[in-house]
Amino acid sequence: MSIWDTLFGRTTGYQAGEEPDHRFGRYTDAYKSRENYAAWDRAVDAFEEDRFLDSCAAFMAYLRDEREDNVKWQQEAGKLYFEFYQGSKRVTGFADQEQLRATARIARLETPNVDLLRRLTAMNYELKYSRFALDDDDCLTIIFDTPVIDASPHKLYHALKEMALRADKQDDLLLEEFGDTVSPVEVTHLEPLSGEEKALKLNFLRRSIREVTDYLSSGRINLEEHPGAVAYLLLELVYRLDYLLVPEGHTMEALERMHRMYFAREEEQPVTYKNVRLLAELQQLVERAPEDFAEELYGGKSTFGITLPASHDRLSSLIRNELPNIDWYQDNDFPEVARAIPGYIAGYALFNYAIPPPDRDLLNLYYRVSQDAYFRTLGYRQNLLTRDGRPARRPIKAAIAEIVERHRRAYPQLRPVTSQLSFDNFPDFGRSYLEMVGELDLRGLG
């Protein structure tokens, strides 16, 4: 047992709840509590007064998310010890009167590998604050250290975020590519998913990709004449898989790569070419070994988010710009594409932005309706569809009312106009639902 286990009384897992409590989408640290912001102010004031350990302790309080239980710290013998989690990785560190040092073990190097070490060395040139190294126990490690006189809260935030996100991403990728060279390390804090849930998610991934590819190969849509429609279908699928499956490692990187490739400004490639590349990447996900995908599914705690904070106006603008495109596809008998566009909008927003909590909950509810069968397999009991498969008016309105009540105190002007919702079919429901979301008044208490 290490000093970190002794200090913080580590256990080997979480206690599972009785009701479904699945996490969807990407973690965000964009919306802090009043206590978090107060801790930030204390950290800044203490740093300016040269009370460096007090500043570091307050900074840890700023990072702490009570729901995640993600950060711990303790002062002992003139030092501040801390640890926090980022997905599959644990970052540990200390601060004293001279320096602050943080490390995160990525994987254990079982046998020397020149290609692996060369890659990590090259990555060091991409890092602004931290660096990859090999510790005394032959563990590939990412390190950040700095004199405490230079450890301002602003610098700590960006430096610790850099090392935490890199560590969390690289361990899965290196283990898959160099599995015969490295082995996992420090993963006892992860919450394992049951074999049944992993199988459900694998089936969802394969079935979702197969449904889209079968439609595209059915002849019901000309891929050359309607590349925009194909792009809507494929990108909606990419964002849906990312949000609902929450994969790590290879699958997460593949989905991110597809997004980057499609929207890369430096690549002046036609949409038809990009669609072919998307299809090829998705097909590779289908063909991967089930055990490889299963290893990417686990529960963990996070401290830093990778999505950028965005206002409600940003989401409203996205809705206004994209939603009218439904009209042509509905008028020309492409209901599958018309249904995909609201899903694309919701997925794009959740993939790229840390939108306000009411927006996030409402978009999650849209997924809950549009992907009802998947949620039911995960154990959710409320059926949001009618017997003939259309969106169900009463339970959906009740779910919206519950979201409003949850956020009423912080957003007193939150009053969605549910009377405008259409429940006749999924394209009409998706259009009316996102119009309702886009028109919300999310002015807070200030």
pLDDT per residue of the chain (446 residues) written in tens, 0 to 9 = 454 444 444 443 333 334 377 889 999 998 899 999 999 999 999 999 999 999 999 999 999 999 899 999 999 988 999 999 998 899 999 999 999 999 999 999 999 889 999 999 999 999 999 999 999 999 999 999 999 999 999 999 999 999 999 999 888 888 888 888 988 888 777 788 899 999 999 999 999 999 999 999 998 999 999 999 999 999 999 999 999 999 988 899 999 999 999 998 766 789 999 999 999 999 999 999 899 899 888 888 999 998 889 999 999 999 999 999 999 999 999 999 999 999 999 999 999 999 999 999 999 999 999 999 999 999 998 889 999 999 999 999 999 999 999 999 999 999 999 999 999 999 999 999 999 999 999 986 54
The answer to whether 86 touches 305, Cβ cutoff 8 Å, is: no
Say if residue 234 is in the same domain as residue 318: no
Q: What DSSP assignment string belongs to 177-200?
A: HTTTTEE--S-TTSEEPPHHHHHH
Q: What pLDDT was estimated at residue 344?
A: 98
Write down the pLDDT at residue 268: 76
Tell me if 188 is assigned to some domain: no
Contact 297, 201 (CB under 8 A): yes
Could you give the number of structural domains in the chain? 3
- 302 lies in the same domain as 312: no
Collapsing DSSP states into helix, strand and coil, what is residue 378?
coil
In a domain, 232, yes or no: yes
Task: Clarify whether residues 205 and 129 are in a common domain.
Answer: no
> Final residue of a domain: which of 129, 152, 183?
183
User: What pLDDT was estimated at residue 18?
Assistant: 40
The confidence score (pLDDT) of residue 2 equals: 52
The CB-side HSE value for 179 (13 A sphere, CA atoms) comes to 5
Same domain membership, residue 146 and residue 283: no
Q: Please say whether the dihedral angle defined by the alpha carbons of residues 339, 345, 351 and 357, taken in this order, is positive or negative.
A: negative
Is residue 175 included in any domain, yes or no? Answer: yes
What's the half-sphere exposure (Cβ side, CA atoms, 13 Å) at 221? 23
Q: How far does the chain reach from its first CA to its final CA, in angstroms?
A: 46
For position 260, what pLDDT does the model report? 94
In our burial notation (b when 16+ CB lie closer than 10 A, e otherwise), range 39-68 reads bbebbbebbeeeebbbbbbbbbbbbbbeeb
Residues spanned by the domain of 215: 193-306
User: Cβ(388)–Cβ(363) under 8 Å?
Assistant: no
Q: Based on the domain organization, do 253 and 225 belong to the same domain?
A: yes
DSSP H or E run through 366: helix 357-370
- Domain final residue, candidates 134, 163, 183: 183
238 and 161 in one domain? no
What does the DSSP 8-state code read for residue 43?
H
Place of tokens 């009209």: 327
Residues 169 and 228 in one domain: no
Distance CA 300, CA 68 (A): 9
- Exposure string of 277-292, with b = 16+ CB inside 10 Å and e = fewer, is bbbebbeebeebeeee
Q: Is residue 157 included in any domain, yes or no?
A: yes
What is the three-class DSSP state of 100?
strand
Over pLDDT 90: what percentage of the chain?
Answer: 77
Question: For residue 244, is it within any domain?
Answer: yes
CB 329 within 8 A of CB 338: yes
Is position 61 within any domain? yes
Task: Assess whether 133 and 273 both reside in one domain.
Answer: no
Q: d(Cα 180, Cα 369) in Å, to the nearest integer?
A: 43
Give me the pLDDT at residue 298, please. Answer: 86
Residue type, 204: F
Q: Let me know if residue 239 belongs to a domain.
A: yes
237 and 352 share one domain: no
According to the model, what pLDDT value does residue 233 have?
A: 98
Shared domain for 39 and 122, answered yes or no, is: yes
What is the DSSP secondary-structure string of 80-99? Answer: EEEEEEEBTEEEEEEE-SSE
User: Which of 306, 334, 367 is where one domain is finished?
Assistant: 306
DSSP 193-244: PPHHHHHHHHHHHHHHHHHHHHHHTTTSS-TTT-HHHHHHHHHHHHHHHHHH
- 406 shares a domain with 316: yes
The whole-angstrom separation of Cα 198 and Cα 295 is 9
- E-strand spans in 279-338? 298-299, 308-309
Quote the pLDDT of residue 266. 65
Please check whether residues 235 and 376 belong to one and the same domain. Answer: no
Of 251, 255, 253, 416, the closest CA to residue 348 belongs to: 255
Looking up residue 97, the CATH number of its domain turns out to be 3.30.1460.10
